[in-house]
Every structure is written in C-alpha cells, then in structure tokens.
C-alpha cells in the first residue's frame, strides 16, 4: 500500500469532511485503473491517483467519492481518452463528490442521442460535484460543451434533438458544479466550446477559457440558467456565428464579477459576448479589451436582451459593422453605469450603436477617442439616454446622431477625461473632470467612468489629450 501523502491545501479542503471509517484507494498500486478505484470506493472514500498519464475514457463518477491526484494539481495526472469517448461521466452525482487535480484531454462526445453528443471532457447531468485545479485540454463534442457540459434532466428536458426547453413547462433550474481554478483550453464543439451550461447554474471562480472554438459561444454558453462567474478570464476564443467569448440565451441571468474578456473573435457578431432570447446577464467590474467582430458589436452584441453593465471597461474593441464597443438590437434594454468606452472602432457607433427599437440607459459613463461615424449611433428606431456622462474626442463627432442635444443637459459634457494612459485599466488623472468634485459645471454627478484616480495632477491639462490619444492609439494598433 502506498504510504500516506501530504496533499495540497486545495485537496485537503475539498475532501475534508469524511466519515471516520473512510478508506483511501490508491491507483495504480491497489486499483489498476481510475475506474477500478471509483468502483471500489464507497461514500466518503478517496480515490488517490499517482502522478502519471492514464489512458481511460467514460469513467463513471460516484456520489460522495473524492477523486484526486496525489498532489492535487492538474500537472500531476493526465487522463487521455484518446478520442474514444468522454473522459468522465457524472449522472446524479451529488455535491459531496469532488474531482481535484487532473488534466482531462482527448475526450470526444458523439452519438445519435443528444446527451451522447455533449461534454467531451466531463458530462454532468443532475449533478453538482466540486471541480478544482483541473485543466480541460483539447476535448470535443458534436453538439455542446467541448470541455464541460452541465445540464439538468437531459433525458426529459430536450425535445426534437435540440438544446431547447419547453417554455410551457420548463424543467427546474438547480445548482450545478462548483468549478474553481480550472482551465478550459483548445476545446471545440457546436455550442459552448469550453463549457456549456443548460438550466444548471454552476459557480465558476478564477477559471480561464482560452483558445476554445464553437459556432456559438467560443469559450462558454449559458442557456436558461443563473451561472455565476467570478475572477474568470476569456482569452483568444473564437466563434463562427456569435459570441467569441460567451453566448448567453433563453432567459439566462448569468452574473460576471471581476472578469476579463480579451482578444476574442467572432466571425459574425459579438467579439467577446452575445446575449439574446430575453436574457438578462449582469456584469460588474468586467473588462472587455481588444475583442473583434467581423459583423456587429466588437465586444458586445445583444438582441432582445436586457443586460446591465456596472463599472465595466470596453477599450480597443473593433467591429466590421456597427458598434465598436456594443451593438444592441431587437428591442434590447441595456443599462450602463460607470462604464468607460475608449478607443473602440466601427463603421458607425464607435462606442455603442442602438437599433431595432433598442433603448439604452447610460449613466456616469465615458465614451472617448473612438473611430467611426459617431460615438453613439442609431438606425433611427433605437436610441440612448445619457446623464452625467462625458463624450469626447470621437472621430465622427461626440454629441451627434441619436444623442444630439443631450451634451449640455442632465450633467452631460464634452471634455478630455485625462486618462492615466500608462495602465491598461483607464484610471484618471487627479485633474480629470470625471472625478467627483471636478465636474465642469459643478454638477454633483460623482465618479464618471469605471476607474477612479490613478495618477497625480500633471499641471499640463491642455496637452493631455494629444499625449493620451496617441498612447491609446498605440495600444490598440
């Protein structure tokens, strides 16, 4: 029997509460395979896997079992499914189960039934295990969730072989897996390249989605649930149709806190994110930087949705069509509070574009230094209402198009925001008119934009625009 091992703190934390009589099953010294270890384990037991590469697929997980690598880190154990099936399968696996410290690769989910074509790395149905310190690498599926699929009651919730709910009698939304410090990279599928959540509401903390690809939702897709993400990064993901980083649909109320979307691409709309179908995601402290859409919405494209954006930054994003930072259509009703939109590029609406009856509420925001026919554009059916906002230095004009006439009312103005341009995060010079107490007409608007003071007063405010503008352009070219 392998001698006792000192496990990583994360491993100890995940597997801390176990019955007194709990056993530890060692792979491969006692059990020749990981599946044999899981099969041998009872509720409360630990399956401890020695560092190595294991060629297994379709490992069936159990409730109450803690499956861990001996160090608790992803680099210790690799499970390679060699394209012969999924890596791990979870059905009705409760929250007491955990999977800690693995690299899951080579998984492939494909089959005639819908649930057979979801979740190449891990498939979770009616399950809520804890996943920690795992890497989902180069997995795939033919329908949804290249790396991870999280769904509820899949056998009854899906009809006509489509990922769609019966709106007259939708299945319940339940809490899904807790996913912490995991990486999803190089995974591919039709929807949700890195991961897909369907009526599942997983909680993801400090996870990274990089270089995943899908038709929609290159990094992640959230459908009809309340997925929660905190401290997550979406980098270099790609979508053929919409949502390079993430695709949100069917009434989803996903929340994002302190997340970053950078260098994601959509061959159509929503370089970083696309939301639609009555979804209402909320973004707080999120940065959208250098994302690209060949069509509309360099960072964000929303159709028939009502997202909220609070203390967010959209900098250096590009759209081939309208809406360098954001494009809203389908009677969307987004709300922006304390947002900074700077250096974005589009044919029209370098900052944002409102169309198809959409109505945007913009409060305490900065829209500056954009390239396009106007800072805020419209097709004539949509519009934006701004208050306590600074619109300045945009190539096609500032208070023009659908916001013409708003520049001198409701605390709005046009003045150089005086960014601290030596940082990616656009904080403000102490002289900035966007800081509390510095408003040009004395209005008590409070902080304008996403960032507070970040550098001392220079005493050369008259030259600040030229310097900051050239620095901003250099950052995004």
Q: List, for residues 72-90, the tens digit of each pLDDT value.
A: 999 999 999 999 999 999 9
Q: What is the pTM of this model?
A: 0.91
A 10 A CB-CB count for 283 gives: 24
Work out the average pLDDT over 98-105: 98
Q: How confident is the model at residue 112 (pLDDT cuts 50, 70, 90)?
A: confident
pLDDT at 461 over 50: no
Q: What is the chain's mean pLDDT, rounded?
A: 90
Q: How confident is the model at residue 21 (pLDDT cuts 50, 70, 90)?
A: confident
Work out the average pLDDT over 37-60: 98
Check residues 171 and 107 and name the one with the higher pLDDT.
107
* Element at 463 (helix H, strand E): helix 461-475
Q: What domains can be seen in the chain, in order of their start residue?
A: 9-475 (2.160.20)
Contact between 92 and 125 under an 8 Å Cβ cutoff? The reply is: yes
Which range (273-277, 283-287, 349-353, 463-467) has the least confidence? 463-467
Q: List, for residues 156-190, the tens digit of each pLDDT value.
A: 444 333 444 344 444 555 678 999 999 999 999 99
* Confidence (pLDDT) at 172: 54
Residue 128, Cα to own-chain centre: how many angstroms?
Answer: 20
Q: List, for residues 357-401, the tens digit of each pLDDT value.
A: 999 999 999 999 999 999 999 999 999 999 999 999 999 999 999
* Confidence (pLDDT) at 364: 98
What is the residue whose two structure tokens read 């959208």?
Answer: 288
* Confidence (pLDDT) at 476: 52
CA distances from 395 to 316, 324, 426 (A): 14, 13, 19
A 10 A CB-CB count for 17 gives: 10
């Amino acid at each position: 029997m392998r001698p006792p091992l000192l496990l990583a703190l994360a491993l100890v934390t995940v597997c801390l509460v176990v019955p007194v009589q709990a056993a530890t099953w060692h792979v491969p010294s006692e059990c020749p395979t990981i599946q044999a270890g899981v099969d041998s384990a009872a509720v409360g037991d630990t399956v401890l896997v020695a560092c190595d590469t294991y060629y297994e697929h379709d490992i069936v997980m159990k409730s109450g079992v803690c499956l861990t690598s001996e160090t608790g880190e992803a680099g210790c154990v690799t499970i390679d499914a060699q394209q012969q099936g999924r890596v791990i399968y979870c059905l009705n696996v409760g929250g007491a189960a955990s999977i800690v410290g693995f690299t899951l690769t080579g998984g492939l989910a494909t089959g005639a039934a819908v649930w057979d074509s979801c979740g190449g790395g891990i498939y979770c149905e009616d399950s809520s295990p804890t996943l920690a310190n795992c890497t989902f690498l180069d997995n795939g599926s033919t329908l949804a969730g290249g790396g991870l699929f999280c769904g509820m009651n899949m056998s009854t919730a899906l009809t006509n072989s489509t990922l769609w709910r019966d709106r007259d009698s939708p299945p319940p939304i339940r809490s899904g897996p807790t996913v912490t410090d995991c990486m999803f990279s190089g995974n591919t599928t039709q929807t949700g390249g890195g991961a897909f959540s369907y009526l599942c509401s997983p909680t993801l903390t400090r996870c990274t989605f990089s270089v995943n690809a899908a038709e929609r939702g290159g990094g992640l897709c959230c459908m009809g649930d309340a997925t929660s993400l905190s401290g997550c990064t979406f980098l270099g993901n790609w979508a053929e149709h919409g949502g390079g980083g993430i695709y949100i649909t069917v009434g989803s109320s996903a929340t994002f806190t302190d997340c970053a979307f950078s260098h994601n691409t959509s061959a159509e709309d929503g370089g970083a994110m696309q939301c639609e179908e009555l979804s209402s995601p909320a973004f707080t402290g999120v940065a959208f930087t250098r994302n690209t859409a060949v069509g509309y919405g360099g960072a964000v494209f929303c159709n028939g949705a009502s997202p909220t954006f609070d203390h967010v930054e959209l900098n250096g994003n590009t759209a081939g069509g309208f809406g360098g930072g954001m494009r809203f259509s389908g009677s969307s009703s987004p709300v922006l509070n304390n947002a900074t939109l700077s250096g974005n590029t589009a044919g029209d609406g370098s900052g944002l574009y409102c169309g198809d009856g959409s109505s945007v509420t913009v409060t305490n925001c900065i829209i500056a230094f954009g390239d396009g026919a106007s800072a805020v554009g419209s097709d004539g059916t949509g519009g934006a209402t701004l208050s306590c906002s600074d619109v300045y230095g945009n190539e096609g004009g500032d208070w023009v198009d659908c916001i013409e006439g708003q520049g001198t009312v409701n605390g709005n103005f046009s003045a150089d925001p005086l960014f601290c341009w030596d940082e990616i995060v656009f904080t403000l010079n102490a002289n900035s008119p966007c800081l509390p107490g510095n408003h040009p007409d004395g209005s008590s608007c409070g902080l304008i934009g996403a960032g507070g003071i970040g550098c001392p007063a220079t005493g050369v405010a008259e030259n600040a625009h030229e310097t900051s503008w050239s620095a901003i352009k250099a950052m995004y070219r």
